């Protein structure tokens, strides 16, 4: 081997970086959850999303028993108001709404009753869980969602402490075709160092299907800018993310 060949560059072409134009997780409907609390705040946040390069946002207010008892009617009414304000303010961003369902026995009984769920994309359903313990309803809910033709998207898996060191559960989640949506802001370490490291690990494993802002307020906009300077942001954009097809 010549000395020259030792320094030859790896010929494998680098995967292209695809900028995100669709965001699929946020809290922009005013005063129905812990996200934006007024139309003024929503418009301000949407302007910043536009500045970040987004052309479309799928906003996902919480549906969580006793905390945020939202219904499709409440969410659709709020969406109608936001669209009206977008037009009046002349913003160049499209908005759709789904919801972020909290996985608990209420969600499971919705599935058992075959209640029509709020979806985005191609029948995708965004589901979050508690942060500490593996929810006992996880497997049954995933089974019923699949049986009913939905595609389950697990919101911010990097934040679940029960998953961080549980390789077996992660494998089972992937085997069940549950899609993983990580929060871009996690790359800044804003939640914690272990959460950041787990987000990076999921990117290295190439098992991330979607990236979301999970934007609730202006603090998250600042973190979105910060995340763009992180080492793993480029790696994230080199994955085959579904965002821009939704
Ligand atoms: Fe969220």
* CA-based nearest residue to 218, from 43, 90, 25: 43
- Distance, CA 5 to ligand 1 centroid (Å)? 50
Residues with CB under 5 A from ligand 1 (ion): 100, 214
The number of distinct structural domains making up the chain is: 1
Residue 2 has pLDDT above 60, yes or no: no
* CA-based nearest residue to 86, from 121, 44, 34, 118: 44
Confidence of residue 14 (pLDDT cuts 50, 70, 90): confident
- Distance, CA 6 to ligand 1 centroid (Å)? 48
pLDDT tens for 93-112 read: 999 999 999 999 999 999 99
Q: What is the pLDDT, as a whole number, of residue 5?
A: 57
What b-and-e string marks burial along 114-125, b requiring 16 or more CB atoms within 10 Å of the CB? eeebbbbbeebb
Q: What is the pLDDT, as a whole number, of residue 3?
A: 56
In a domain, 11, yes or no: no
Residue indicated by tokens 């800044």: 188
In a domain, 58, yes or no: yes
In a domain, 242, yes or no: no
CB atoms within 10 A of CB 223: 21
Which CATH number is 188's domain given? 3.20.20.140
- Distance, CA 27 to ligand 1 centroid (Å)? 7
Domain limits for position 176: 20-236
Q: What is the pLDDT, as a whole number, of residue 10?
A: 61
In a domain, 244, yes or no: no
In a domain, 59, yes or no: yes
């Amino acid at each position: 081997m010549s000395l020259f060949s030792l320094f030859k560059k790896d010929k494998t072409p680098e995967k292209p970086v695809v900028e995100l134009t669709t965001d699929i997780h946020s809290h922009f409907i005013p005063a129905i959850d812990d996200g934006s609390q007024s139309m003024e705040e929503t418009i301000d946040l949407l302007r910043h999303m536009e500045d970040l390069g987004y052309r479309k946002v799928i906003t996902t207010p919480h549906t969580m028993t006793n905390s945020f008892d939202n219904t499709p009617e409440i969410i659709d009414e709020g969406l109608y108001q936001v669209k009206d304000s977008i037009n009046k303010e002349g913003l160049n961003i499209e908005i759709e709404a789904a919801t972020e369902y909290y996985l608990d026995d209420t969600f499971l009984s919705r599935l058992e009753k075959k209640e029509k769920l709020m979806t985005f994309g191609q029948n995708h359903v965004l589901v979050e869980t508690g942060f500490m313990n593996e929810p006992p309803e996880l497997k049954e809910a995933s089974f019923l969602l699949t049986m009913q033709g939905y595609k389950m998207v697990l919101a911010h898996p990097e934040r679940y402490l029960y998953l961080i060191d549980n390789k077996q559960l992660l494998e089972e989640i992937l085997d069940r075709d549950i899609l993983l949506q990580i929060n871009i802001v996690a790359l800044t370490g804003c939640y914690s160092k272990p959460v950041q490291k787990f987000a990076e690990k999921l990117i290295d494993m190439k098992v991330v299907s979607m990236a979301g802002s999970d934007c609730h307020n202006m603090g998250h906009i600042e973190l979105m800018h910060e995340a763009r300077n992180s080492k793993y942001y480029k790696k994230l954009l080199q994955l085959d993310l579904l965002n821009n097809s939704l």
